């Protein structure tokens, strides 16, 4: 043992003596070894200088938004918790910063930590008290390492930026006076308006949203819940059930909004997984078959006894089940992002005020639910109390449940197959409800009116089946394609060609190519499960005049259907909480942030909007 120790000592002495004996080879030799590692000399692993390993750029997206982007070389990573941002030399302030999610790694220095590889884009919202131009210094702090190699010291980089005026003068794109996007205006209303007036305004917006495709599927769900109570339902009980459904739905919207605004995670998008949609569609099919009387949904006797006690205690029973249906309806049935919702999310993200933002979203949900309460209560008022009519009513609402299942599945199915399903549903429903039964001469006017309505539904369902065979893609226009062929190509919609991209890197590459061609751009944030995205395609983009205007732009479709990490990073980098959203860029690549559109837009309004974007 002593021999080994002496040998080691001699080896260390012989190795280190030349270094300490030569004054010129002191600390300089250590740095020379580190430099040779960067230069890739023989015997050393090659490491990039920090500015090459972590290339950082800051883009001015609009007067109120910056985008800090790091392009991380292969084999390197940045620590998520080491990012820092500061603004100096001005009265401009940063809003709340939401960093995209990374992935966890076992780091030799810090243990299990969250890191970023590849690229990361961080949107930075600005609070500017003055409308004119501003010069600011943005300081970025970050730290990273090389895989199985060195760890760099913390890096601090300061960039000088000149922010454009918030109200721009006339330009070739965007018009002489830039309007404020609707969702941004609502966010400012939350930030500076009177609280009670603002909450009342959001409740009003909710009432308007109640008449959109996002809320329609909830009507048969709630009506089916009330009808499922059978002959014992009263107006009071129908009102209580409807109110519980709506309050649960509104509370879910508020909770989802707070989570999305604070953490940048869209729960609705998470629940649009195909397996989830198919599962809940199957649940609604099962509920429909139960209402047809094919089987009864019964729990084990011991569970029934416990539920009976709970039902007696709450003087109405099924309240928990109704609340659960309201929750799942908000999460799964109606995944839409409208301007009021986007405005509240922007406010929460910028200020961190989850209380006022959550209250605004709750009022929005209550407004959306007021018509539902009216429908549910009237269902309880109009339902027959006993007799054979009861089974016919339950059969009617059973087909309503099947309609909800079709609405969920058409997010996944080809358009022609969706039209076929609607045709089969309408024809089968009309036959089940007696459209082909013989009508007695002594039948009442009510029976005759119902029979006539049944025949109309049967006829339209048959047309849908024929239209689907001809390739129809819209259940409201089953013969649109055949009509266009008959009229000739002069009236056909303009065939639009969208460049499909994936993730922030794909979008940046497409925008760079458009800048080279000096073309204006429209980016369509789309998902297969987004109801209003498909409404835009069917009605707005299919309009002939809209199509002619869109041919003047480069069209990019960013598909976020998968809602994976790459999609969430793209939405976070753009400051968008979910589809549908339309973004517009000038030929030099500058986004017209105030011209953003969120939610469905009618063709006429969209044509006017394109006129402003194109500066006509």
Q: Write the burial class of residue 311 (CB in 10 Å: 0-12 exposed, 13-18 middle, 19+ buried).
A: middle
Stated pTM of the model: 0.52
Q: What is the pLDDT of residue 192?
A: 54
User: Phi then psi for 274, rounded to 5 degrees?
Assistant: -55, -40
For the stretch 542-591, pLDDT in tens is 888 999 899 999 999 999 888 888 888 888 788 787 788 999 998 888 88
Q: What is the pLDDT of residue 510?
A: 92
DSSP 361-382: HHHHHHHHHHHHHHHHHHHHHH
DSSP 426-470: HHHHHHHTTTTS---TT--HHHHHHHHHHHHHHHHHHHHHHHHHT
DSSP 18-64: HHHH-GGGSHHHHHHHHHHHHHT-TTS-----HHHHEEEEEEEEETT
Q: Do residues 222 and 372 lie in contact, with contact meaning Cβ atoms separated by under 8 Å?
A: yes
Q: Do residues 586 and 517 lie in contact, with contact meaning Cβ atoms separated by under 8 Å?
A: no
Q: What is the pLDDT of residue 383?
A: 54
Distances (CA, A) of 477 to 119, 317, 466, 529, 535: 45, 43, 12, 21, 13
Which range has the worst mean pLDDT, 160-164, 209-213, 584-588? 209-213
What span, in angstroms and rounded, lies between the C-alpha atoms of 581 and 588?
21
Nearest to 116 by CA among 79, 84, 143, 142: 79
The structure tokens 């220095």 sit at 109
* Nearest-5° Cα angle at 265, 264 to 270: 160
R_g over Cα of the chain: 31
To the nearest whole percent, how much of the chain has pLDDT over 70?
Answer: 68
Which range has the worst mean pLDDT, 163-177, 212-226, 347-361, 452-466? 163-177
Nearest to 68 by CA among 82, 79, 53, 83: 83
Which range of 4-8, 30-34, 131-135, 411-415 scores highest in mean pLDDT? It is 411-415
Q: Which residue has the higher pLDDT, 131 or 315?
A: 131
Q: How many residues does the chain have?
A: 616
154: CB partners within 8 A, 6+ apart: 82, 141, 142, 143
SS3 state at 419: helix
* Nearest-5° Cα angle at 556, 552 to 561: 150
Q: What is the pLDDT of residue 507?
A: 92
Q: What is the pLDDT of residue 181?
A: 55
Show the tokens assigned to 227.
């009808």
Mean pLDDT of the region 130-147: 85
Q: Is omega for the bond preceding 257 within 30 degrees of 0, making it cis?
A: no
Cross-strand partners of 559: 526
Q: 113: left (phi > 0), else alpha (psi -120 to 50), else beta?
A: beta
Neighbours of 160 (CB within 10 A): 9
How is residue 539 annotated by DSSP? I
User: Phi then psi for 541, rounded to 5 degrees?
Assistant: -70, -25
Q: What is the pLDDT of residue 173?
A: 45
Q: What is the pLDDT of residue 304?
A: 45
For the stretch 228-253, pLDDT in tens is 666 667 778 888 888 888 898 888 87
Q: What is the pLDDT of residue 296?
A: 56
Residue ranges and CATH numbers for the domains of the chain are 2-39 (no CATH), 50-163 (2.60.40.1250), 186-388 (no CATH), 413-487 (no CATH), 499-614 (3.40.30.10)
For the stretch 448-495, pLDDT in tens is 887 888 899 999 999 999 988 887 878 887 876 555 555 544 455 678
Q: Do residues 178 and 615 lie in contact, with contact meaning Cβ atoms separated by under 8 Å?
A: no
For the stretch 16-72, pLDDT in tens is 434 334 434 333 343 444 444 444 444 456 788 999 999 999 988 878 788 899 999
Could you tell me the pLDDT band of residue 164, with boundaries at 50, 70 and 90? confident
């Amino acid at each position: 043992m002593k021999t080994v120790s002496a040998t080691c000592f001699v080896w260390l002495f012989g190795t280190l003596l030349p270094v300490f004996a030569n004054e010129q080879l002191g600390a300089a030799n250590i740095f020379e070894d580190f430099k040779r590692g960067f230069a890739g000399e023989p015997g050393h692993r090659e490491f990039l200088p920090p500015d090459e390993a972590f290339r950082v750029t800051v883009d001015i997206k609009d007067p109120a938004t910056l985008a800090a982007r790091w392009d991380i070389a292969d084999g390197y990573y940045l620590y998520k918790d080491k990012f820092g941002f500061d603004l100096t030399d001005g009265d401009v302030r940063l809003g709340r910063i939401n960093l995209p999610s990374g992935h966890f790694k076992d780091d030799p220095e810090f243990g299990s930590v969250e890191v970023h590889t590849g690229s990361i884009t961080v949107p930075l919202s600005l609070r500017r008290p003055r409308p004119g131009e501003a010069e600011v210094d943005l300081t970025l702090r970050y730290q990273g390492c090389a895989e199985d190699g060195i760890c760099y010291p913390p890096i601090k980089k300061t960039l000088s930026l000149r922010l454009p005026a918030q109200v721009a003068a006339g330009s070739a794109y965007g018009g002489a006076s830039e309007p404020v996007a609707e969702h941004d205006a609502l966010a400012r209303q939350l930030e500076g308006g009177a609280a009670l007036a603002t909450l009342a305004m959001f409740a009003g917006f909710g009432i308007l949203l109640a008449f959109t495709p996002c809320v329609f599927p909830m009507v048969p769900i709630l009506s089916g819940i009330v009808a499922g109570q059978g002959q014992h339902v009263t107006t009071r009980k129908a009102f209580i059930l409807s109110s519980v459904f709506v309050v649960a739905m509104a509370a879910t919207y508020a909770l989802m909004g707070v989570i999305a605004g604070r953490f940048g995670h869209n729960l609705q998008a998470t629940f649009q997984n195909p397996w989830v949609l198919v599962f809940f569609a199957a649940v609604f099919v099962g509920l429909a078959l139960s209402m047809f009387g094919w089987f009864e949904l019964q729990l084990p006797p011991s569970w029934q006894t416990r539920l009976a006690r709970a039902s007696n205690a709450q003087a109405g029973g099924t309240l928990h089940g109704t609340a659960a249906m309201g929750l799942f309806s908000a999460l799964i049935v109606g995944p839409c992002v409208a301007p009021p919702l986007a405005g509240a999310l922007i406010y929460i993200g910028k200020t961190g005020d989850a209380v006022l933002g959550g209250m605004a979203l709750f009022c929005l949900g209550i407004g959306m639910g007021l018509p539902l309460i009216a429908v549910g209560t009237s269902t309880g008022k109009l339902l027959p109390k006993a007799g054979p009519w009861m089974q016919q009513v339950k059969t009617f609402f059973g087909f309503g449940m099947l309609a909800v299942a079709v609405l969920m599945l058409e997010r996944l199915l080809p358009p022609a197959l969706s039209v076929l399903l609607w045709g089969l549903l309408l024809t089968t429903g009309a036959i089940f409800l007696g459209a082909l039964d013989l009508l007695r001469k002594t039948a009442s006017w009510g029976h005759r009116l119902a029979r006539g309505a049944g025949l109309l539904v049967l006829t339209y369902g048959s047309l849908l089946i024929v239209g689907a065979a001809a390739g129809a893609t819209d259940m409201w226009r089953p013969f649109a394609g055949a009509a266009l062929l008959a009229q000739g190509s002069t009236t056909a919609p303009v065939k639009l060609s969208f460049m499909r991209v994936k993730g922030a890197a794909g979008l940046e590459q497409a925008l760079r190519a458009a800048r080279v061609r000096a073309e204006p751009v429209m980016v369509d944030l789309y998902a297969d499960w987004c109801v209003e995205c498909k409404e835009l395609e069917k009605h707005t983009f299919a309009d002939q005049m809209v199509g002619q205007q869109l041919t003047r732009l480069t069209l990019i479709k960013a598909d976020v259907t998968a809602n994976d990490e790459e999609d969430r990073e793209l939405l976070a980098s753009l400051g968008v909480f979910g589809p549908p959203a339309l973004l517009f860029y000038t030929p030099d690549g500058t986004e017209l942030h105030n011209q953003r559109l969120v939610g469905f837009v009618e063709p006429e309004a969209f044509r006017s909007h394109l006129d402003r974007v194109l500066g006509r």
